[in-house]
Amino acid sequence: MTRPIELWYWPTPNGWKISIALEEMGLPYEMKPVNIGVGEQFDPAFQVISANRRMPAIIDPEGPDGRPLSIFESGAILQYLGVKSGRFYPQDPRGKAEVDQWLFWQVGGLGPMAGQTHHFRQYAPAMVKDQRQIAYGVRRYTDETHRLYGVLDRRLADREFIAGDYSIADMAIWPWILPALQGQSLEEFPGLKAWMNRVGERPAVRAGRALGEDLRRSLTASGSAAEEARKVLFGQRAL
CATH number at residue 78: 3.40.30.10
Instruction: Tell me: do 120 and 181 sit in the same domain.
Output: yes
> What is the model's pTM?
0.90
Instruction: Work out the pLDDT band at 220, boundaries 50, 70, 90.
Output: very low
Residue 203 pLDDT: 98
Amino acid at 94: R
> Does 207 map to a domain?
no
Instruction: Tell me: do 28 and 122 sit in the same domain.
Output: no
Pairing of the two strands 69-72 and 5-9: unpaired
> What distance in Å separates the CA atoms of residue 59 and residue 216, rounded to the nearest whole number?
22
Higher pLDDT, 125 or 207: 207
Query: Domain limits at 15?
Result: 5-88+217-233
Instruction: Work out the pLDDT band at 137, boundaries 50, 70, 90.
Output: confident
Judge whether 207 and 23 are in contact, CB under 8 Å.
yes
| pLDDT tens per residue, range 192-202 | 999 999 999 99
Instruction: Tell me: do 192 and 136 sit in the same domain.
Output: yes
Instruction: Work out the pLDDT band at 87, boundaries 50, 70, 90.
Output: very high
Number of Cβ atoms within 10 Å of the Cβ of 77? 23
Query: What percent of the chain is predicted at pLDDT more than 70?
Result: 87
Of 137, 105, 131, 132, nearest in space to 119 by CA: 137
Instruction: Tell me: do 52 and 15 sit in the same domain.
Output: yes
Classify residue 164 by burial, with Cβ atoms within 10 Å: 0-12, 13-18, 19+: middle
Q: Region 119-136: what's the mean pLDDT?
A: 75
Query: What percent of the chain is predicted at pLDDT more than 90?
Result: 77
DSSP for 52-104 reads TS-S-EEEESS-TTSS-EEEESHHHHHHHHHHHHT-SS-SSHHHHHHHHHHHH
Higher pLDDT, 117 or 132: 117
Most confident segment among 25-29, 62-66, 213-217: 25-29
> Does 103 map to a domain?
yes
Instruction: Tell me: do 111 and 131 sit in the same domain.
Output: yes
